[in-house]
A = this chain, B = another copy of it.
């Protein structure tokens, strides 16, 4: 259960290595993604982007998110079944607790849960490729 704000990974280098061109829109979008703590959706990323370069299009944001997702550079979430929201993949794995009143997203990590998931899948004859765990909760009144 810990946060990890480590050193930024060099996505540009990774992109180049994969034979992908590093363009102005991509650079800007990557900057946005690596320098935020939250989980913005495409529209929010778009708005932050046009603040830096107002010629960037929403299509390019979507295309770039798909590209980065395929490269494993970002993760896509769909809290509440709403529009896709993103975060950079770098850093240790974590899951999310969503405050149903405020919409706040709290990150947490539990080895125990990860282990249990593996066990369950194995008991069913499966290997986990990925998973999604979202807790939707409300601030508790009780003393902690």
Q: Which A positions have Cβ atoms within 8 angstroms of B?
A: 1, 76, 78, 81, 84, 97, 99-100, 106, 108, 110, 112-113, 116-117, 120-140, 144
Do A120 and B113 form a contact, CB below 8 Å, given A78-B81, A131-B134? yes
Chain B positions within 8 Å of A99 at CB level: 126
> How many monomers of this protein are in the complex?
2
Q: How far is the CB of A41 from chain B (nearest CB, A)?
A: 13
Cβ–Cβ contact A108 & B120, under 8 A: yes
Q: How far is the CB of A126 from chain B (nearest CB, A)?
A: 4
In the bound complex, what is the Cα–Cα distance between A130 and B84 (angstroms)? Answer: 20
- Which listed residue, B1, B121, B134, touches A132 by the CB 8 Å rule? B134
